[in-house]
A and B are shown apart, each in its own frame.
Chain A
Amino acid sequence: MSDWSPSARQLEREQVAVRLRRRRGLTATVVTVAFLGLLVLGVTSSPGWPRVRETFLSWPDAKASFPAIRDGFWVNVRMFLLAEPVILLIGVLVAVTRHTISPWLAPLRVLAVAYTDLLRGVPTLLVVVLFALGIPALNLQGLTTSFFWLTSAALVLSYGAYVAEVVRSGIESIHPSQLASAEALALSRAQSMRYVILPQALRRVVPPLMNDFVSLQKDTALVSAVGVTEALYAAQDYGNFNFNYTPLLVTAAFFVVVTVPLARFTDWLSARARRRERGGS
């Protein structure tokens, strides 16, 4: 290895490669800048632009509404931090239940199927409203009437159904030979699921699962429909009072700031898991 020095032909090739790479980079930059420039020009030269700038891009209004939205967003954050682990738990339990074979669990299997069918069929917004208005109307002793908890429960149940289906598809994607070799080792059905199938299935469904969780973070804004003062509600409140909708964009920014890094983080997590399994040690 040490006595190798690149041939004249190789050096020439490398020079050409550098030149080609530079040209490609330049082209990409010019095209992107031109495209974005045209887009901005198109929007700002529209006839209604001055009006839009005034009502949606007002810096004073952004500043004035910021504290209320920040406080409201804290409600969204608490809601999804609380909901996500519970949703994951429900999703896994429901998915695993559907794969049991014991006759004793037959009622649970029926329940699991009915639950996923029903909750995936009904719009999330409707579930939120039904929970917030319907459950207090039952006048049950000892049950909370806090809209925060009721709407959180609605989101949990609604998303639990989606996540259950994602986990189930993961379970079904594991090759039957894995179950066969687990069974050949005399593992019980439950042990095979717990130690062999589920760990592989969950790893495989991390990307779609994260998709659902990002979606949930946004859907915490749905609870504004029943008047929980989260970020969107605070923004609308400001807008309705001051006839300025800049706070809506501020709210959007809050959501983006949280969801984009989370998406990158999960990409990194799954890449690391892949490296560990393939790469060695």
Chain B
Amino acid sequence: MTALLEVEALRKCYGDKVVLRDIDLTVLPHDVICLIGASGSGKSTLLRCLNLLEPIDDGTIRFEGREVSDPLVDPRDVRRGIGMVFQAYNLFPHLDVLDNCTLAPVKVHGMDRAEARERARERLGHFGLADKASAHPDSLSGGQQQRVALVRALCTNPTLLLLDEITAALDPELVGEVLDSVRAEAEAGMTMILATHEMAFAREVATSVCFLDQGRILEQGAPGEIFSAPREDRTREFLRRVLPAG
């Protein structure tokens, strides 16, 4: 199978501070890659580099066979195929839920407005949000907002989904509903890269887990390997801190 996304020797700095170095990552279709690691290890920055929200300082990113880190590539062309969900939801507060979900399909993908609304309603229904279509984001709970953000990202039919710690800002009892939605997408075959602190979830849905430490992918492997028999001391140390004892 040909890779959907290939990252080679990616480097990213903020001023003198190197936040990502020598990142190599290959993502095949239907992969679910979980990025784990302490806060500040570079998980979010890596995701933002992949859809060109952040300029990179070295290395290459290839998406669907094309080098997208080429400055002559229009970032918009790349982002049309990549959905992203942020930790803080980032819904558009002046638009209702349905308009949030149809803005990009209509304005970017040229979809017919009525059709876009129809599809968005359908998706909202799948995610248990059918009755929220005309609500404004600020009147929803955090879990509902994050599910709307997920629907918004999916409405453009992306081939790759980037999820940036999407449950980190939620109350514990709301985490489950969002993860259920993500799990359903993973099972439906969506290719995803997600930064997460939910280790149990990563273990369950990931096809591959990357442990990031100080801007490097220190260790990558199947969830069984990483969580049961980590190779690196630092991985072991990190897992000991975040996993419940036992």
Return A3 CB to nearest CB of chain B, in Å. 31
The answer, yes or no, to whether B53 is at the interface (CB within 8 Å) is: yes
B90→A280 contact, CB < 8 A: no
Interface window among A102-110, A151-159, A175-183? A175-183
- Residue of A with least CB distance to B75: A183
CA of A181 to CA of B138, assembled, Å: 17
Instruction: Check: A75 CB closer than 8 A to any chain B CB.
Output: no
B108 at the interface (CB under 8 A from A): yes
| Any A CB within 8 A of the CB of B224 | no
For A189, the closest partner residue in chain B by CB is B76
User: What does the 1/0 interface line of A174-195 toward B look like (CB < 8 Å)?
Assistant: 0001101111111110010001
Q: Tell yes or no: B80 within 8 A of A by CB.
A: yes
Choice from A177, A191, A281 contacting B134 with Cβ under 8 Å: A281
A residues 189-248 touching B (CB-CB < 8 Å): 191, 195-196, 199-200, 203
Number of interface residues of A (CB under 8 A): 23
Partner pick for B139 among A178, A188, A278, CB 8 A cutoff: A278
Shortest distance between the CB of A83 and any CB in chain B (Å): 27
B136 touches A178 (CB 8 A): no
Separation of A124 and B182 alpha carbons in the complex (Å): 59
Task: From known contacts A180-B53, A180-B86, A280-B136, infer whether A185 and B79 are also in contact, taking CB-CB under 8 Å.
Answer: yes
In the assembled complex, A12 has its CB within 8 A of some CB on chain B: no
- Among B77, B88, B93, the most chain A Cβ lie within 10 Å of the Cβ of B93
Q: Do residues A180 and B90 form an inter-chain contact, with CB atoms below 8 A? A: yes
Q: In the complex, what distance in Å separates the CA atom of A247 from the CA atom of B92?
A: 52
Any chain B CB within 8 A of the CB of A47?
no
Provide the residues of chain B in CB contact with A48, threshold 8 Å. none
**A185→B104 contact, CB < 8 A:** yes
Minimum distance in angstroms from B11 CB to a CB of chain A? 21
- Given A277-B93, A281-B134, A186 and B108 contact (CB-CB distance below 8 Å): yes
- Main secondary structure on A side of the interface with B: helix
Complex alpha-carbon distance, A146 and B209, angstroms: 75
B152 pairs with A185, CB closer than 8 A? yes
The answer to the question of A279 belonging to the interface, with a C-beta cut-off of 8 Å to chain B, is yes
B84 touches A181 (CB 8 A): yes
Q: A51 to chain B: which residues have CB within 8 Å?
A: none
Contact A185 B136 (CB under 8 A): no
Q: With the chains together, A182 CA to B152 CA distance in Å?
A: 11
**With a CB–CB cut-off of 8 A, which chain A residues contact B75?**
183
Contacting residues, chain B, for A9 (C-beta < 8 A): none
Q: Give Cα A186–Cα B90 distance, bound, in whole angstroms.
A: 15
Interface residues of chain B, those whose CB is within 8 Å of chain A, are 48, 51, 53, 75-77, 79-80, 82-84, 86, 88, 90-94, 103-104, 107-108, 134-136, 138-139, 152-153, 156
Q: Which residue of B lies closest to A280 (CB)?
A: B139
Could you tell me the distance between the alpha carbons of A177 and B48 in the complex, rounded to whole angstroms? Answer: 12
Known: A280-B136, A281-B136. A185 touches B103 (CB 8 A): yes
Min CB gap B81→A, angstroms: 9
Contact yes or no, B80 A277, CB < 8 A = no
A264 interfacial contact with B, CB 8 Å: no
Could you tell me the distance in whole angstroms from the C-beta of A17 to the nearest C-beta in chain B? 32
14 more contacts with CB within 8 A, not counting A185-B79, A281-B135, A281-B136, are: A177-B86, A180-B48, A181-B86, A184-B86, A185-B104, A185-B108, A186-B104, A186-B156, A187-B103, A187-B104, A195-B103, A200-B94, A277-B138, A280-B135
CB closest chain-A residue, reference B134: A281
Indicate which residue in B86, B136, B156 contacts A276 across the interface (CB closer than 8 Å): B136
Beyond A183-B79, A186-B108, is A281–B139 a contact (Cβ under 8 Å)?
A: yes
A residues within 8 A CB of B83?
184
A196 touches B92 (CB 8 A): yes
Residues of A within 8 Å of B77, CB to CB, are: 186
- Give A107-143 as 1s and 0s: 1 = Cβ < 8 Å from B's Cβ atoms: 0000000000000000000000000000000000000
Q: Specify which chain A residues have a CB less than 8 angstroms from the CB of B152 in the assembled complex.
A: 185
With A183-B79, A184-B79 in contact, is A278–B84 under 8 Å at CB? no
Cβ–Cβ < 8 Å partners of A195 in chain B: 103, 107
What is the distance, in angstroms, from B153's C-beta to the closest C-beta of chain A?
8
Chain B residues with CB under 8 Å of A196's CB are 92, 103
Q: List 20 A-B contacts (CB under 8 A).
A: A177-B88, A181-B84, A181-B91, A182-B92, A183-B79, A184-B51, A184-B82, A184-B86, A185-B152, A186-B77, A186-B104, A187-B76, A187-B103, A187-B107, A195-B103, A196-B103, A276-B136, A277-B138, A278-B136, A280-B136
